[in-house]
C-alpha cells in the first residue's frame, strides 16, 4: 500500500474503536455460519446505520487495489458486503456485479447481474471470513461465467482456516484486520479486558473451520472414488451400483396396482439402481407384495426407496416409519425426509431402527421440482446443513448444484427426454441438463411408466444419463 504504515496503523486502530462503539463486535456465546461456537461475533450489518463509518471502511479497504492494478469488476458477497462494494464501485468508477443468492425462476434465470465479458478480472469484497465458503461459492459462480478471480479484499479474517481455504483455490486474500490484531487494538484502547483477549485467543487455538471444497469438485469426481468418501453405507452401495450397472436411473413407480409395479420392476430392474414407491397410493397393498418386490430387488440388484417425505416431530415420524400397516423401516432401504422439522427428525427415524440389522439411508429434500415450491434460498441451505451432519443421510433431493460434499448423492426429480411440464405444476428437464446441474441420480417416472415400449424407453434414458455423466467427469 502507498500509505505510510504508521499512519495506516493509526487509522485502522481508530476505525476498530469506531466499529466497537457501534456494536459491530460482540462478546459472549455465539455460533458461526459454519456451526462453530465462538466467544466473539462480528456483525458488520450495523454499518448501514452508520454511513460515515461505512464510507471510511470502504475507502481503506479499497487501498488493497493498489496491489492489483488490472481489476475490471467488483463483486460483493451478499448481503453484508454489498453496501461496501457499492460504495467502492461508485468512488472508484469500477463496474460492479451482483451474485444472486439464487437464480431467478423467470426471464434469463441469471445468477450474475451486471455487464461483463469473458476474461474480466473481478475482485470479491467480503466482510468477515471464517471458513471462506461464501467467497469460494461466489468465485465458483463467477469463474463458471468466464470471469477471472484471483483476489479478495476482506474486512476481518477470523483466523480459522478461511485464508488457507481461499488461497488453496488460487485466490489471494487481503484483510484489514485479523481477530488477533483487533483484540490488540481494543485492549490498547481499554475497550476490552485481558480476560476477554485470553478467551478469544484460546478459542482460536482450539477451533478451526473445516477444509472445504467448491461444488465443481463433486461433479468431476467419479462415483467409485466418491463411494469411499461417504459416511452412509447405503450411499456407498448406490455409488458402486451406479458404476457397476452404468445407470443413474431412479424409477418413480407411481402406480396404484401391485401387479403393475411388480411387472415393471421385473422388466426394467436390470437397468436401474433405485426403485421409488409411494406405498400409500397402492390400492391392493399386502405383505406378499412387499416380499415379491424385495425378491426382485435382490434378483436385479436395485435398492428400494419409499418416497414418504416425512415431515413431523421426532416421535411421530418414528411411529410412521416403524408402525402402521406399511412398516416402512422393515423393507425400504431409503426414505425421503423434509427438512422443515429440523435435525431432530433424523433422530426420530433412527429410533425406529433398533431392531433392523440392515443398513438404512434417507434423502433430505432441499429443493422440489414443482412450480412455485417454497424450498428455496435459506431453506435449501439449511437442508444441506442438516444433511451434512448425519451418517444416516444418503443424499439430497435438489434441482441444482447446491452442495460440495463428495459423499452425498444428488437426487433430482423431474427428468424427461424433452423439456416439458404437466398441468399440475411438475416441471421436467432433459437428462443432460439435470446431470450438468449436479444430478448423480435422476428420477424418471412417466417417461418410462407411460411409454409404449417401457424397456426401450428405459434403455434410452439409461444411455443418455450415463453419457452425460461421463461427459461431466471428463470435461
Task: Examine the domain organization and report whether 184 and 298 are in the same domain.
Answer: no
In this structure, are 294 and 379 located in the same domain? Answer: yes
Q: How many domains does the chain have?
A: 2
Residue 35 covered by a domain: yes
User: Range of 107's domain?
Assistant: 1-206
Residue 54 vs residues 46, 50, 97, 314: alpha-carbon distances, Å: 9, 6, 19, 46
Catalytic residue among 120, 307, 333, 440: 307
| CA distances for 70 relative to 73, 75, 150, angstroms | 9, 15, 11
Same domain, 196 and 138: yes
User: Domain for residue 143, yes or no?
Assistant: yes
Mean pLDDT value across residues 177-188: 96
Let me know whether 343 and 253 are in one domain. yes
The residues, any chain, with a CB within 8 Å of residue 165's CB and separated by 6 or more, are 131, 132, 133, 136, 209, 211, 212
Residue 255 domain-assigned (yes or no) = yes
d(CA 289, CA 255): 13
Tell me 427's DSSP state: B
Of 159, 180, 206, which marks where a domain is finished? 206
The pLDDT tens digits of the residues spanning 324-344 come to: 999 999 999 999 999 999 889
**Where is pLDDT greater, at 142 or 285?**
285
Beta-bridge partners for 113: 98
Which residues make up each annotated binding site?
Answer: 254, 276, 369, 426, 445-446
Q: How confident is the model at residue 429 (pLDDT cuts 50, 70, 90)?
A: confident
Residue 1 has pLDDT above 60, yes or no: no
pTM: predicted TM-score of the whole model, two decimal places = 0.61
Are 96 and 89 in contact by the 8 Å Cβ rule? The answer is yes
The residue out of 206, 241, 276 marking a domain boundary is 206
Q: Which of 309, 350, 454, 463 is catalytic?
A: 309
**Structure confidence at residue 105 (pLDDT):** 44
Note whether 386 and 258 are same-domain residues.
Answer: yes
Domain annotation covers residue 214: no
**Residue 23 designated active-site:** no
* Same-domain status, 147 and 268: no
Same-domain check for residues 195 and 279: no
Q: Are residues 263 and 172 in the same domain?
A: no
Report the distance separating Cα 435 and Cα 440, nearest Å.
7
Q: Binding site for substrate, residues?
A: 254, 276, 369, 426, 445-446
CATH code for position 414: 3.20.20.70
Same structural domain for residues 236 and 152? Answer: no
Report yes or no on 215 lying in a domain. no
> Facing residues of 375 across strands?
none
Of the residues 43, 216, 266, 312, only one is catalytic, namely 312
Q: What pLDDT was estimated at residue 421?
A: 54
Burial 386-422 (b: 16+ CB within 10 A, else e): bbbebebbbbbbbbbbbbbbbbbbbbbbbbbeeeeee
- Residue 312 annotated as catalytic: yes
Q: Do residues 435 and 254 make contact, with C-beta atoms less than 8 angstroms apart? A: no
Name the grid cell of 224. 467409485
Reported as a single tens digit per residue, the pLDDT across 380-425 is 777 888 888 889 999 999 988 888 889 999 999 988 886 655 555 5
Shared domain for 268 and 165, answered yes or no, is no
Q: What is the mean pLDDT of the chain?
A: 90
User: Are residues 364 and 292 part of one domain?
Assistant: yes
Residues 6 or more apart in contact with residue 405 via CB below 8 angstroms: 218, 229, 387, 388
Q: Is 307 a catalytic residue?
A: yes
pLDDT at 251 over 80: yes
pLDDT band per the 50, 70, 90 thresholds, residue 215? low
Amino acid at each position: 500500500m502507498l500509505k505510510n504504515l504508521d499512519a495506516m496503523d493509526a487509522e485502522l486502530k481508530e476505525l476498530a474503536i469506531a466499529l466497537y462503539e457501534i456494536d459491530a463486535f460482540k462478546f459472549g456465546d455465539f455460533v458461526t455460519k459454519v456451526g462453530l461456537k465462538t466467544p466473539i461475533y462480528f456483525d458488520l450489518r450495523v454499518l448501514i446505520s452508520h454511513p460515515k463509518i461505512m464510507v471510511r471502511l470502504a475507502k481503506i479497504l479499497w487501498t488493497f487495489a493498489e496491489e492489483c492494478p488490472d481489476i475490471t469488476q467488483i463483486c460483493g458477497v451478499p448481503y453484508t458486503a454489498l453496501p461496501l462494494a457499492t460504495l467502492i464501485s461508485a468512488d472508484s468508477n469500477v463496474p460492479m456485479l451482483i451474485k444472486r443468492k439464487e437464480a431467478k425462476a423467470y426471464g434469463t434465470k441469471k445468477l450474475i447481474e451486471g455487464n461483463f465479458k469473458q476474461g474480466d478480472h473481478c475482485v470479491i469484497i467480503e466482510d468477515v471470513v471464517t471458513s471462506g465458503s461464501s467467497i469460494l461459492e461466489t468465485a465458483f459462480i463467477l469463474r463458471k461465467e468466464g470471469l477471472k478471480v484471483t483476489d479478495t479484499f476482506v474486512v476481518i479474517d477470523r483466523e480459522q482456516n478461511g485464508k488457507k481455504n481461499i488461497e488453496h483455490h488460487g485466490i489471494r486474500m487481503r484483510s484489514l484486520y485479523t481477530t488477533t490484531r483487533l483484540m490488540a487494538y481494543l485492549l490498547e484502547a481499554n475497550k476490552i479486558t485481558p480476560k476477554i483477549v485470553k478467551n478469544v485467543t484460546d478459542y482460536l487455538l482450539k477451533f478451526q473451520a473445516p477444509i472445504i471444497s467448491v461444488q465443481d469438485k463433486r461433479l468431476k469426481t467419479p462415483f467409485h472414488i466418491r463411494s469411499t468418501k461417504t459416511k452412509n453405507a447405503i450411499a456407498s452401495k448406490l455409488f458402486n451400483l451406479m458404476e457397476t450397472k452404468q445407470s443413474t436411473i431412479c424409477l418413480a413407480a407411481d402406480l396404484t396396482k401391485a401387479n403393475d409395479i411388480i411387472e415393471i420392476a421385473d422388466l426394467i430392474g436390470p437397468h436401474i439402481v433405485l426403485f421409488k414407491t409411494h406405498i400409500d397410493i397402492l390400492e391392493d397393498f399386502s405383505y406378499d407384495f412387499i416380499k415379491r418386490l424385495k425378491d426382485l430387488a435382490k434378483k436385479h440388484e436395485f435398492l428400494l426407496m419409499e418416497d414418504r417425505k416425512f415431515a413431523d416431530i421426532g416421535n411421530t415420524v418414528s411411529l410412521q416409519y416403524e408402525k402402521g400397516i406399511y412398516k416402512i423401516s422393515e423393507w425400504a432401504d431409503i426414505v425421503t425426509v423434509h427438512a422443515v422439522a429440523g435435525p431432530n427428525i433424523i433422530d426420530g427415524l433412527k429410533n425406529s431402527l433398533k431392531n433392523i440389522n440392515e443398513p438404512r439411508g434417507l434423502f433430505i429434500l432441499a429443493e422440489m421440482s414443482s412450480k412455485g415450491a417454497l424450498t428455496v434460498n435459506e431453506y435449501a441451505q439449511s437442508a444441506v446443513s442438516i444433511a451434512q451432519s448425519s451418517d444416516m443421510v444418503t443424499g439430497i433431493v435438489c434441482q441444482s448444484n447446491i452442495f460440495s460434499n463428495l459423499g452425498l448423492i444428488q437426487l433430482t426429480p423431474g427428468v424427461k427426454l424433452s423439456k416439458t411440464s404437466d398441468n399440475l405444476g411438475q416441471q421436467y428437464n432433459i437428462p443432460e441438463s439435470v446431470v450438468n446441474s449436479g444430478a448423480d441420480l435422476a428420477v424418471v417416472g412417466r417417461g418410462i411408466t407411460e411409454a409404449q415400449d417401457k424397456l426401450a424407453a428405459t434403455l434410452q434414458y439409461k444411455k443418455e444419463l450415463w453419457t452425460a455423466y461421463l461427459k461431466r467427469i471428463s470435461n
